[in-house]
Structure formats: C-alpha cells, structure tokens
Amino acid sequence: MKFKEYLIETITDNQMELLIPSRDYTEEEVVYMRGYQQALQDMLDDFTDEINAVSHDKYAFSLN
C-alpha cells in the first residue's frame, strides 16, 4: 500500500503549499495547483473504491 501512502503524502504537501505558499504564485499557477489537488483526491477516492471492491470480492462468500 505504498502507493496510497505516497498519494496521501503528496495531497498533504500540496494542501500545505496552497495554505502556506513557499513563494508567490501567479493566479494561473494557483488554479493549476487546485486542479492538481482535485485530481490527486479523485485518484485517492478511486483507488480506495477499487481496493474496497477487490477486498469485498475476495472475501465474499457464495453459496453457489
């Protein structure tokens, strides 16, 4: 699950950069960073959903 850990770390780092910028960003850069943040969050949500689906299928019992 290193992928999920790295993804969460990247999301956190990006959030901090948006809240407390390390330099002055142009408006265009801020818009890009917000879009990047949303894309990362969507990726995390999709990854979590897929892991849950795989886990459910793996451990679901069938009487057939």
- Please report the pLDDT score of residue 46 as a whole number: 94
Q: Is residue 62 assigned to a domain?
A: no
User: Structural domain tally of the chain?
Assistant: 1
Cα–Cα nearest to 40, from 1, 63, 6, 2: 6
Residue 54: strand, helix, or coil: helix
pTM: 0.75
**27: pLDDT strictly greater than 70:** yes
What confidence tens digit (pLDDT) does each residue in 29-61 have? Answer: 999 999 999 999 999 999 998 887 776 666 666
The domain in which residue 37 lies consists of 2-57
With respect to residue 26, please indicate whether it lies within any of the assigned structural domains: yes
pLDDT confidence tier of residue 64, bands split at 50, 70 and 90 = low
Residue 30 falls within a domain, yes or no?
yes
